[in-house]
Amino acid sequence: MIGCDPCASLVSIAQSQHPSVDILVADGCSLPFQDTSMEVVLSVAVFHHIAPTDHAAFLGEVRRVLQPQGIFFATVWAPSAIKTKWTRIPGEGPACYRVPWNDKYSKDVYDRYYYIYTMLEIQEIFGAFFDILEIREECKNWYIRCRNR
């Protein structure tokens, strides 16, 4: 198992809590892995932070590192997750939000970028790169299971 995150401080925390797992600082739009080197890629609560302009780079990297017929599983916030205290980002489209996020380690509060996807958007975006095996909503998240072509 290999994990990655673009935030060095979060990687450091993860490494200290899971010393037997290889965890690296890496950007999902430029993964440091060889082509077809992964049987499975898991993306939990990541895709909704990625700006629409970076979708192709992120999903293209997942497709590149997955073996043929490899499985990509992702969780993404669904519209049912939207709360009234969220702030829409002007000029970014109706589904872009800034959401307050509480850092439990530093106790700081950050505004984080979220794009909230409809099922049709998930089908179109993921379907452009993968064969979609399943999409379902559960606990305010889309659960997406795909197979590499």
Contact call for residues 79 and 142 (beta carbons, < 8 A): no
CB atoms near residue 140 (< 10 Å): 12
pLDDT in tens, the chain (149 residues): 999 999 999 899 999 999 999 999 999 999 999 999 999 999 999 999 998 899 999 999 999 999 999 999 999 999 999 887 888 898 887 799 999 888 887 888 888 889 999 999 999 999 999 999 999 999 999 999 999 99
DSSP letters for 99-147: EEEE-TTT--EEEEEEEPPPHHHHHHHHHTTEEEEEEEEETTEEEEEEE
Residues 26 and 40 in one domain: no
pLDDT of residue 109: 87
Domain region containing 76: 33-148
Residues 82 and 11 in one domain: no
pLDDT of residue 76: 96
Q: What is the CATH number of the domain that holds 75?
A: 3.40.50.150
Contact call for residues 46 and 74 (beta carbons, < 8 A): yes
Token output for 5: 């995150």
Residues 54 and 121 in one domain: yes
pLDDT of residue 63: 98
Residues 144 and 76 in one domain: yes
Residues 114 and 58 in one domain: yes
Query: What is the model's pTM?
Result: 0.90
Handedness of CA 44, 48, 54, 55 (dihedral sign): positive
Residues 54 and 85 in one domain: yes
Residues 87 and 129 in one domain: yes
Residues 113 and 134 in one domain: yes
Residues 10 and 61 in one domain: no
Residues 44 and 104 in one domain: yes
Residues 59 and 81 in one domain: yes
- Cα distances from 56 to residues 1, 2, 3, 121, 146, in angstroms, run 25, 22, 21, 14, 16
Residues 4 and 56 in one domain: no
Number of domains the chain contains: 2
